[in-house]
Amino acid sequence: MCKLKNIVIHHSVTPRDLPLAQQIASFDRTHKERLHPIVNKYGLHIAYHYVIAGDGSYQKTRGIDEIGYHSGNWDMNTKSLGICLCGNFDVEEPSDAQINTMNKILIELCTAFKLKEKDVIFHRDVIDYKTCPGLNFTRDYINLNDNSELIERLKGKLLLAVEDEGRVYYTDLDGETFLVTKDNFLIVFREMALGISNSDLNKLNLQ
């Protein structure tokens, strides 16, 4: 492969939420017939370098140093990696888990190969008659800012937005942040609270 210059995002046009292993097996059969009859370093025939399932799990499916016939353009194939998110994003949207996994992979690759956000492109940027990775997939999903350390630190914490009229937000144990309201405060309370038995409760100096 030539010097890596681009990462191309694809969608599979298969049901988003099928298990990863089932997606991989399907891609392997079709790509063996159409694109790569010889196995790659992972023992697969898949043209994409990464495949991301609807639940956010993923698998490396082609070596970074191996050319994959994923873009429909030979020149682009020689200087790019292909990442495929399972789903048909002409009619549905990628899951949050998929986007989180995709951005973690992008951050890792862009850091390693000194690429910038503009170097992450869509399949339709290469082949203009395609919609891939789907009409509902926009550049708003691409985020190369690594906020994982901050999110990890804030899990299980209430956040007071001092510049936003004192609104209170909560980052749950899955790393999702949301506004605390009268409709969800009990959910937040139960997740933050420490469980206690009646016998221990009776030992306390209750007022």
CB 186 within 8 A of CB 195: no
pLDDT digits (tens, 9 = 90+) for 127-159: 999 999 999 999 999 998 877 778 888 889 999
pLDDT digits (tens, 9 = 90+) for 159-179: 999 888 889 999 988 888 999
What CA–CA distance (Å, rounded) separates 91 from 74?
29
Amino acid 73: pLDDT: 95
Domain co-membership, 51 together with 111:
yes
Higher pLDDT pick, 187 / 28: 28
Domain that holds residue 30: 6-141
Residues 6+ positions from 14 with CB-CB distance below 8 Å: 23, 26, 86, 87, 88
Q: Is residue 129, in this structure, part of any structural domain at all?
A: yes
HSE-CB of 49 using CA atoms within 13 angstroms: 24
- pLDDT category at 2 given cuts 50, 70, 90 is low
Amino acid 150: pLDDT: 81
Q: What is the CATH number of the domain that holds 130?
A: 3.40.80.10
pLDDT digits (tens, 9 = 90+) for 52-100: 999 999 999 999 999 999 999 999 999 999 999 999 999 999 999 999 9
Q: Is residue 207, in this structure, part of any structural domain at all?
A: no
Domain co-membership, 124 together with 165:
no
Domain co-membership, 90 together with 119:
yes
Amino acid 1: pLDDT: 62
User: Rg of the chain over CA atoms, in angstroms?
Assistant: 22
Q: How many domains does the chain have?
A: 2
Amino acid 163: pLDDT: 86
Amino acid 195: pLDDT: 86
What CA–CA distance (Å, rounded) separates 206 from 116?
58
Domain co-membership, 175 together with 79:
no
Domain co-membership, 40 together with 121:
yes
Higher pLDDT pick, 204 / 205: 204
Q: Is residue 1, in this structure, part of any structural domain at all?
A: no
Domain co-membership, 130 together with 170:
no
Domain co-membership, 154 together with 94:
no
pLDDT digits (tens, 9 = 90+) for 189-200: 888 888 888 888
Domain co-membership, 154 together with 135:
no
Report the predicted TM-score, pTM, of the whole model to 2 decimal places: 0.73
Q: Is residue 39, in this structure, part of any structural domain at all?
A: yes
Domain co-membership, 67 together with 127:
yes
Amino acid 64: pLDDT: 93
Domain co-membership, 190 together with 109:
no
What CA–CA distance (Å, rounded) separates 177 from 143?
17
Domain co-membership, 137 together with 154:
no
Please, which contacts does 183-186 make with residues 24 or more away whose CB atoms are closer than 8 Å?
Answer: none
pLDDT digits (tens, 9 = 90+) for 6-48: 999 999 999 999 999 999 999 999 999 988 999 999 999 999 9
